[in-house]
Each structure stands twice: as C-alpha cells, then as structure tokens.
Amino acid sequence: MTPRKVTAREVLEEGARRGIAFTPEQAEAVSIATTSLLESAARLRDAVSRNDEPAFGFRVPLQDAARP
Amino acid sequence: MSIDVEHLTLADATGLIRDRKLSPVELARAYLDRIERHDGAINSFITVTGETALERAKQAEREIQAGHYRGPMHGVPYALKDIVETKGIPTTAHSRVLRDYVPAQDAVVEQKLAAAGGVLLGKLACLEFAHASPSVDQAWPQARNPWNTDHGFTGGSSTGSASAVAASLTPCAIGTDTGGSVRNPAALCGITGLMPTYGRVSRRGVIPYSFSLDHVGPMAWTARDCAIMLQSIAGYDEGDPGSLQTPVPDFVSPLDGKIAGMRIGLLRYMYEEDMTADDDILAAMRETVRRLESLGAVVTEVRARPLMDYHDCKLVIGVAEFYSVHEADFARRFHEYGADLQTKTFQGAFLGAADYLQAQRVRRHLAQDMQRTIEPFDALLVASNVRPAPRIQPKTRSSTEYFQKPNITAVFNVTGNPAIAIPNGFSASGLPLSCMIVGKRFDEARILKIADALERETPWAARRPALPEK
C-alpha cells in the first residue's frame, strides 16, 4: 500500500477544524512526523492483507468461500 | 546517628530495619537530607513529601518496635513517577495541563506500597505525560543524569525515577514503561529496571499513555531490590482491564546465583545488524555471554522478527491510544502542552480505525512469534540500547529525530514479555552500559534469578556517580 502524505496545509486545516491554531513551523513538524507514521501504518497493512483470521472474534466471509 | 545511604541498597535497608539495626525515621531523614543537598543538581523530584515520609516512617518504627513487622518494604523509602496518582498529593505528569491536579485517591501501586509499610519520599520528574521528547520548555526542568549532570540525558520517560535512584536520593522508585521507559532510563543511569509481564502489575490510577502498551515496574540498584519491590506491587486487579488473574510466585527466595544448565537465547542481530551498537556495548555484550557461560548457562544465537516490525506496531498503537486519551484536552488546552507534545500528539488525528486495527492484528502475530522464539529457552539476552547516554540537546528535538526510530526495548512492550535491564559496565567516557534479559510471560522470577547471578559476578551495581552539591 502506498503511504499517504500529509502536507503542512492539511495539518493547518485539520487543526483549524478542531480549534487548534498551529504555526507554519508546527504544521511542518506535524506533517513530517505524520508522514513517517503513515509509512509505518502502510507497512502494517501490507503485513496482514489477507482476511484469513478471526480478528477480534469477528470473521468476514471471504468472497471465494461464498462461491458454490 | 548519621547514615550513609549512598551505597545502601533496598535489600540492605530491609535487612537492617527488620533486625532493628536501622531506624526508619533516621533513614527517611537521611534521604530527605540528601535530596535537599543534591537534587538541585539533577532535578529528579517535582514534589518532596517530607511530612508524609516522616509520618509513615514514625508509624513503621512504632509497629516494628511493637513486633508488627509487615514485610520487606516496611519502613523502606521509595518515590513515584509523577504520573502515579496519590491522594492529596499533586500528580502533574510533568505537564502544565495537570499542574493543579490533586487526586482524590491513590493508584493501586501506591495503595500496595503504603499497605506494605513503605515510606513515600515524593513524586518524580518524567517526560511530559510520559510521551514527550526531552524538552527545555516544560513546567519543571528535565531530570539530569547523575553520571554526567552537564550533558548526560537520563533516557525517557521515567527520568526522575532513574536519576533519583542513581543519585541515591531514594533506594527504589516506581516507573512506567510503554516503549522502554523503565528500562531505557535505568540503562542510561546505571541501575536496574524491570518491566513486568503485561497484566502482572495494576495500572489503575496511573495516567495512561497507551492502554495496551503501558506497564508499571520497579527501578532500583539491583535485581534483588526489584524483586522485593515487585513482590509488593504484583497481583490481579479487576479494575485494570489488562490485569490477569495468575498466581504471584516468590520472587526473592530463588535468588541464589545458580543458573547452571539454563538456556539463554542471544538476540545479537537486534544490536549488531538491525541497529549497530557502539563498540563499548558490543564488547560488554561479548563479556556478558562469556560470564553466563562461565556460570554454566548455555548461550545460543536466535532470531525473532526484524526490529522495524515491532517499531511500526508500537508507533501506530502508541500514537493512536495517546491521542484517544488527549483529544479533548488537546483542543481545549493546546497552549498548556509543551512544544514537543503540541506537534507530536496531533499525528494521531490522521490515523484511521483500520490503521489501528491492523496494528493490533500484526501485534498478535508478533507476540505469538516471540512466544515460539523463547519457548526452547529459559530467557533471552539482548543489549538494552545501542548507545550510552546521549548529550542533552540545547533545543527541543522533533519527534521524528528522537522517537520515530526503532529501539530494542519496545519489542517487549509489543509482545508483553517481562524484561529487566541491568548494569553491564561502563563506556570509555565513564557512562553506564546495560544489557536486558527477557523472559516468558509471567516468568519474572527466572529473569530476576539470571540478573541477580550476573550482578553477583560484576562490580557494576556497586559503583556510584560523583554528585555535585547544589
């Protein structure tokens, strides 16, 4: 999975939506850290891409299993 | 009577108090005097509870004189990381956000230490909410490393706990560990720190960083000291959803120095390949392997998963859970957070539910793999870190520079295994080195036994830093 990049502008907008006024420098720092975080998240998604386990006790049927 | 507490361990104090050769009141006074004399140089305490300490010490003395000895913590001083709630005593989490917070009740760990007759000396500095990077803009100064007060970082986040023990301002302390926050500061300050199995010690009343990664653990000079303290705080608590109902064994009696025949798995790839440790650390680890073999243990190299796998997992889970704790306060009281948390916390707003759930799914696989890896062994051995204490940076460092890179300690927060960091020599520049022994779940007794055996063979835990007076 290609990790999402979060720009400083997105940080400023998301902050404003929540009533937080980041400075441009803070927004840039959040952008860099978040992009790195989302790279980690993308690697984790790749690590468990198959739906082959009962995650947290609930199992979604596989498409193949629904075929006759 | 003047008491020299500098070289006194918790176990020493216990024995002397039990045999009525040491007055708990005089002991508490000796530590309070030493805090007054030296803490200005290392900033390890946020609140000193002198009156509480003397009241409890007097009560302990009365009880012991009357023949009512409660056990090994009776009359023994200790201190708490300032994210452990204490009734009627400020609990700040080293943050302006909680500067006026005075809890209405004690955390379970404090309830247990008080019930054991312990003497609370005070509340200790930490990184803000146990999560910030080392910063210079916080409500209280950051703790300094007693081995180099000018530029030695203490490690995070139980900074004050490690520096207070290393400076002999308390014989033991409580820390918390979400990615290494007991073991890393213990390692950098030359003391011993134990992260018990996830579920062994209640976290109720401890301000959370990350619900599913947080642990509470003892920090002291030796493995025996940690065993004594763990004995007092371990046990099931129905009020902590992570707590597990499992028997609490005797952690202290098995400490006899005998480990012949034990099988130790060496996770060398973690500090030689996935990360590259300093030469001092590599040499110290080779020496530790030789020492274990001379004691009759069998050391075999073994591999688990790459460090990066654990790092990704810990990072996503930790950031998501931290944000879930702070989301409301963060929007309302943004300017009261330190500069580092102002930027670090908000990453959590960009994680989705699937990110968190996938991280927990991967975590389950990593934890299962680790249990398979450790199964043929009595314990695993690895370096606690790859560098001795770094310099304190003059400016606040950004999150990406400091925490968003792999570390060895966090592996075992992800998998839930107990791990103890013990002194392992000194670098050429005189800073402490450390190694870590990792156990099977709920097998703290065995890693304490191995740690104790190693400590008996080395002089490291007996060495003390030269402390300036301020």
pLDDT digit string, tens, across residues B407-465:
999 999 999 999 999 999 999 999 999 999 999 999 999 999 999 999 999 999 999 99
The answer to whether B309 and B410 are in contact (CB under 8 A) is no
| Cut 0.90: pTM above it | yes
pLDDT(B310) > 90: yes
The answer to whether B457 and B28 are in contact (CB under 8 A) is no
Return the SS3 of B412: helix
pLDDT at B135: 74
CB contact under 8 A, B316 and A47: no
Q: Which residues contact B274 (CB under 8 A, 6 or more apart)?
A: B306, B307, B308, B406
pLDDT at A54: 57
**Interface test mutation site (partner B, options A34, A36, A52, A58, max chain B beta carbons within 10 A):** A34
For residue B396, CA distances in Å to B111, B185, B401 come to 36, 19, 10
All structural domains of chain B: 5-462 (3.90.1300.10)
The answer to whether B228 and B9 are in contact (CB under 8 A) is no
The crossing angle, in degrees rounded to 10, of helices B223-233 and B10-18 is 70
Beta strand extents in B362-431 (DSSP E only): 379-383, 419-426
Give the sheet arrangement for strand B77-81, strand by strand.
B45-48, B119-124, B77-81, B172-177, B215-220, B192-195, B419-426, B432-438, B379-383, B263-266, B298-301
pLDDT at A3: 85
Q: Which residues contact B302 (CB under 8 A, 6 or more apart)?
A: B265, B266, B267, B373, B377, B380
Instruction: Give B44-65 pLDDT, tens digit per residue.
Output: 999 999 999 999 999 999 999 9
Of B327, B417, B324, B339, the residue nearest B377 (C-alpha)? B417
pLDDT > 70 in chain B, percent: 97
pLDDT > 90 in chain B, percent: 90
Q: How many Å lie between the alpha carbon of B144 and the closest alpha carbon of chain A?
A: 26
Tell me the pLDDT band of B468, cut-offs 50, 70 and 90.
confident
CB contact under 8 A, B316 and A40: yes
pLDDT at B185: 97
Look up residue B89 and give its DSSP letter. Answer: B
pLDDT at B1: 54
The answer to whether B126 and B84 are in contact (CB under 8 A) is no
Mean predicted lDDT score pLDDT of chain A: 81
Helices and strands (H and E) in chain A: how many: 3, 0
CB contact under 8 A, A33 and B355: no
pLDDT(A64) > 70: no
Q: Which of B23, B44, B81, B399 is catalytic?
A: B81
A47 touches chain B (CB under 8 A): yes
Residues of A in contact with B323 (CB under 8 A): none
- Per the structure block, which two tokens stand in for B25? 């009141």
ipTM associated with this complex: 0.90
Q: What is the CA radius of gyration of chain B?
A: 21
The answer to whether B74 and B65 are in contact (CB under 8 A) is no
